[in-house]
Chains A and B, each alone.
Chain A
Amino acid sequence: MGLFDFLKKGLQKTKETFFGRVVKLLKGKKLDDETREELEELLIQADVGVETTEYILERLEEKDGDALESLKEIILEILNFDTKLNVPPEPPFVIMVVGVNGTGKTTSCGKLAKMFVDEGKSVVLAAADTFRAAAIEQLKIWGERVGATVISHSEGADPAAVAFDAVAHALARNKDVVIIDTAGRLHTKKNLMEELRKVHRVVKKKIPDAPHETLLVIDATTGQNGLVQAKIFKEAVNVTGIILTKLDGTAKGGITLAIARELGIPIKFIGVGEKAEDLRPFDPEAFVEVLISE
């Protein structure tokens, strides 16, 4: 089942109720006060945030024609990025995965590895979370599960050294992809953000263009703090895309809309479960449907 069908199936019920009501309210009409308030409520409750919600509503008021179609257009405009991965001409393709605690980094590393392995690529996973208890074991289980090599040091080791070894290993053995799992860290912790910059720098020593992708993992349940997270991680390690996880829950991940609009960071993947195959490339149209459903 494709992503779109997958999400649509999940949304069937809600579409018949609340979303259906909004569709009825907006379709073929311009925005009036009542619908404006209902839409505002919907967007705020999807964690889109006050500012971006206001932006969307103002844009909507400017537009003529079918309000529903206009709404979709506006949201798609915000999300209109090139989501292609920046794969280098020469392997290895190095991806670094970062984010605050517990968002789904390690799991997403496993899922990404699976995706590449399924494409016939050889994958190296770097266990650069040397802090969290059993983070290394967790990644090793993922490595076994999806058929990727795991490069690890012992707990408490220097994360940059692990990343360095993983890239060196991939270069020596002609591996296609390196995925670096990093420890969860709050963006407010200066020393931990510096540690992350060091990982970034050390990888560059081996391959100047690497990491080719630095993916920030954002949990779909995240509220307005997600915007600050994205801002500071972007400043520290030049985030190139977002993996939006846990969209299989009831949260909508609307904060990524604010992130896309204000910081220009595209969503590249979404996570829709805990299994290896539960990662999908981001589809903006399907996301719009998720966002404005209840």
Chain B
Amino acid sequence: MFENLQEKLSRVFKNLSGRGKITEKNVKDAIREVKLSLLEADVNYKVVKEFVDHVLQKALGEEVLRSLTPDQQFIKIVRDELVRIMGEKNEPLRLVHRPAPIMMVGLQGSGKTTTCAKLAKLLKKEGRNPLLVAADLYRPAAVDQLVKLGNQIGVNVVHDYNKTPVEIVKEAVDVAESTGKDILIVDTAGRLHIDEEMMKELEEIKKILNPDEILLVVDAMMGQDAVNTAKVFDERLDLTGFVVTKMDGDARGGVILSIKYVTGKPVKFIGTSEKIDGLEPFHPDRIANRILGMGDVLSLIEKV
């Protein structure tokens, strides 16, 4: 369905090789291919616009125009720009308090509950002693889901159907302190960013927890609206980062670029399976090719 960007670009530049100089028009055609490619990857329209403007300025510099391999030189500019926006390296969790509270928030069905359990497992493997908290009391069987996942990985889950989310979080803080847990992972109900009452609930939970990490869980298949969601959640809660789930599919994941661009907050983990061990630290430099819809061009670029 998607033609390789690299092929398109070589086509754009090849048309003129042999006929001498590369012109501004060639560069603009190339920019257009990048623009389309990013839109097909679901990078937000406004982000794409600003991004390509930036690339255009750089590409019109001497380098590309003079280069013998303009397509590669051009891809390098695009790629460097992507990496610049997304950051070079993985940003780890910053856990300072004891117990260190982590809040998982997001839209309905994005993967919060699963990610809570995955993260608990990951931290346990690192020798930490996490406690899970079932603060979604709305979605049918959400508590059961977390309890089952907790059992699978041998992590306790604080839950009580007769309490409100805020009450259960208060209780969990006490439980963690009295049982010597060093991390508190709180699963919250899915909610729309425009649901005022539900967003207030998160602010209340935040006040009680004073969390070290507030992670917005975002579905990799999400389209243009991701920036609205990310912006509003960030404005209300001052997020510390994102988890992008369902990266095991074939979504290009343009959402990663968009949310980082509009909030400046890093993606810390990606979900790579519905199984409990499918969570990995996110390495931004490795994702540029996927967003651009290119194979491994790293080696190609290294030759430039």
Q: Spell out A's residues near B (CB within 8 Å).
A: 41, 44-47, 49-50, 100-104, 131-135, 137-138, 140-142, 145, 184, 186-189, 219, 221-229, 246, 248-252, 254-255, 274
**By CB atoms of chain A within 10 A, which of B41, B145, B147 has the most?**
B145
Q: How far is the CA of A191 from the CA of B117 in the complex (A)?
A: 25
B183 close to A (CB within 8 Å): no
Q: Are B192 and A248 in contact (CB under 8 A)?
A: yes
Q: Are A134 and B194 in contact (CB under 8 A)?
A: no
Which chain B residue lies CB-closest to A133? B148
Q: List 24 A-B contacts (CB under 8 A).
A: A44-B39, A50-B39, A101-B111, A102-B110, A102-B111, A133-B149, A133-B152, A135-B141, A138-B141, A141-B140, A145-B140, A187-B249, A187-B250, A188-B248, A221-B222, A221-B225, A223-B221, A223-B222, A223-B223, A225-B221, A249-B194, A250-B229, A251-B223, A274-B108
**CB proximity to A under 8 Å, residues B141-190:** 141-142, 144-145, 147-149, 152
B109: A residues at CB distance < 8 A: 101-104, 219, 246
Q: Are A251 and B225 in contact (CB under 8 A)?
A: yes
Instruction: Tell me whether chain B's interface is mostly helix, strand or loop, or mixed.
Output: loop
**CB proximity to A under 8 Å, residues B109-134:** 109-111
**CB proximity to A under 8 Å, residues B208-254:** 219, 221-226, 228-229, 246, 248-252, 254
Q: How far is the CA of A188 from the CA of B273 in the complex (A)?
A: 12
Q: Are B144 and A134 in contact (CB under 8 A)?
A: yes
Q: How far is the CB of B20 from chain A (nearest CB, A)?
A: 32
A50: B residues at CB distance < 8 A: 36, 39-40
Which chain B residue lies CB-closest to A42? B45
Which chain B residue lies CB-closest to A227? B1
Tell me how many residues of B have a C-beta within 8 Å of chain A. Answer: 45
Q: How far is the CA of A255 from the CA of B251 in the complex (A)?
A: 14
**By CB atoms of chain B within 10 A, which of A101, A140, A221 has the most?**
A221
Q: Are A137 and B144 in contact (CB under 8 A)?
A: yes
The 8 closest A-B CB pairs, nearest first, are: A223-B223, A102-B109, A223-B42, A134-B144, A251-B225, A134-B145, A138-B141, A141-B140
Q: How far is the CA of A221 from the CA of B190 in the complex (A)?
A: 14
**CB proximity to A under 8 Å, residues B244-302:** 246, 248-252, 254-255, 274
Q: How far is the CA of A49 from the CA of B1 in the complex (A)?
A: 13
A189: B residues at CB distance < 8 A: 248
Which chain A residue lies CB-closest to B110? A102
Known contacts A47-B225, A134-B148, A249-B107; decide if A102 and B219 are in contact (CB<8 Å). Answer: yes
Q: How far is the CA of A132 from the CA of B140 in the complex (A)?
A: 13
Q: Are B221 and A226 in contact (CB under 8 A)?
A: yes
Q: Are A188 and B249 in contact (CB under 8 A)?
A: yes
Q: Are A44 and B40 in contact (CB under 8 A)?
A: no
Which chain B residue lies CB-closest to A44? B45
Q: Spell out B's residues near A (CB within 8 Å).
A: 1, 36, 39-42, 44-45, 107-111, 138-142, 144-145, 147-149, 152, 192-194, 219, 221-226, 228-229, 246, 248-252, 254-255, 274
A141: B residues at CB distance < 8 A: 140-141
B248: A residues at CB distance < 8 A: 186, 188-189
Q: How far is the CA of A132 from the CA of B219 in the complex (A)?
A: 17
Which chain A residue lies CB-closest to B232? A250
Q: How far is the CB of B134 from chain A (nearest CB, A)?
A: 11
B222: A residues at CB distance < 8 A: 221-223
**By CB atoms of chain A within 10 A, which of B40, B141, B145, B246 has the most?**
B141
Q: How far is the CA of A145 from the CA of B141 in the complex (A)?
A: 13
Q: Are B219 and A221 in contact (CB under 8 A)?
A: yes
Q: How far is the CA of A135 from the CA of B142 in the complex (A)?
A: 9
CB contact between B228 and one of A135, A186, A246, A250 (< 8 Å): that residue = A250
B229: A residues at CB distance < 8 A: 221, 250
Q: How far is the CB of B270 from chain A (nearest CB, A)?
A: 14
Q: How far is the CA of A14 from the CA of B251 in the complex (A)?
A: 30
Q: Are A45 and B224 in contact (CB under 8 A)?
A: yes
Q: Are B219 and A186 in contact (CB under 8 A)?
A: no
Q: A41-B45, A102-B246, A221-B219 are in contact. List 5 more A-B contacts (CB 8 A).
A: A101-B109, A134-B142, A134-B148, A186-B250, A219-B109
Q: Are B251 and A223 in contact (CB under 8 A)?
A: yes
Q: How far is the CA of A266 from the CA of B285 in the complex (A)?
A: 40
A225: B residues at CB distance < 8 A: 42, 221, 249-252
Q: How far is the CA of A227 from the CA of B223 in the complex (A)?
A: 12
Q: How far is the CB of B246 from chain A (nearest CB, A)?
A: 6
Q: Are B107 and A186 in contact (CB under 8 A)?
A: no
Q: How far is the CA of A26 from the CA of B11 in the complex (A)?
A: 37
Q: Are B108 and A223 in contact (CB under 8 A)?
A: no
B111: A residues at CB distance < 8 A: 101-102
Q: How far is the CA of A252 from the CA of B139 in the complex (A)?
A: 23
Q: Are A142 and B140 in contact (CB under 8 A)?
A: yes
Q: Are A100 and B246 in contact (CB under 8 A)?
A: yes
A140: B residues at CB distance < 8 A: 141
Known contacts A100-B246, A101-B274, A219-B109; decide if A137 and B141 are in contact (CB<8 Å). Answer: yes
CB contact between B141 and one of A102, A103, A134 (< 8 Å): that residue = A134
B45: A residues at CB distance < 8 A: 41, 44-45
Q: Are B1 and A228 in contact (CB under 8 A)?
A: yes
